[in-house]
């Protein structure tokens, strides 16, 4: 079935968000602000709510605010704010990582079906993209023999 762009949008709107079980989601189920506030100890909720109400919404530093990077760095040993980079979702993080690690001609094995960007960005870099596909006849499990065929050992 080939769908025109407007049909695809309508199809995605119908089936992407109105399902009981979304097995194709690339993120987590979104939480309400109330659910997030409820995770805090009760004595911190009012102060945190006031901080949120006073928060000015606008652009921050491209790499993430120093405050946020500092809070994240503090959760790791031997990590400073200069070791933390905040991205606008996984798509930006993947893009930066792929462009840092991959070179034209590299072979990349990508699971299929998966997040489309996982194959399109390496292809745009000039990588050879091999799709490791789920098999219906295998109970929708990945076959390791298929992986070995797609990623043979590198000879030195």
Question: pTM to 2 decimals?
Answer: 0.63
For residue range 64-98, list pLDDT tens digits in order.
899 999 999 999 999 999 999 999 888 899 999 99
Which residues face 114 on adjacent strands? none
- Res 52 pLDDT > 70: yes
In this prediction, residue 25 carries a pLDDT of 66
List the single range of 20-24, 59-63, 118-122 with lowest mean pLDDT: 20-24
Which is nearest to 105 in space by CA: 123, 131, 120?
123
Domain boundaries defined on the chain: 61-101, 104-156
Q: Which residue has the higher pLDDT, 1 or 52?
A: 52
Spatial distance between the Cα atoms of 37 and 148, rounded to a whole number of angstroms? 47
For residue range 119-146, list pLDDT tens digits in order.
999 999 999 999 998 877 877 788 899 9
> What DSSP state is assigned to residue 29?
P
In this prediction, residue 10 carries a pLDDT of 67
């Amino acid at each position: 079935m080939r769908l025109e762009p407007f049909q695809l949008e309508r199809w995605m709107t119908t089936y992407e968000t109105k399902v009981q079980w979304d097995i194709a989601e690339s993120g987590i189920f979104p939480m309400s602000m109330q659910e997030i506030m409820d995770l805090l100890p009760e004595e911190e909720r009012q102060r945190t709510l006031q901080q949120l109400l006073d928060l000015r919404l606008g652009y921050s530093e491209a790499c993430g605010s120093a405050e946020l990077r500092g809070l994240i760095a503090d959760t790791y040993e031997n990590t400073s704010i200069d070791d933390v980079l905040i991205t606008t979702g996984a798509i930006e993080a993947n893009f930066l990582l792929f462009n840092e690690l991959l070179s034209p001609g590299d072979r990349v094995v990508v699971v299929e079906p998966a997040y489309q960007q996982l194959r399109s960005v390496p292809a745009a870099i000039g990588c050879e993209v091999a799709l490791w596909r789920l098999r219906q006849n295998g109970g929708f499990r990945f076959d390791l023999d298929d992986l070995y065929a797609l990623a043979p050992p590198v000879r030195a």
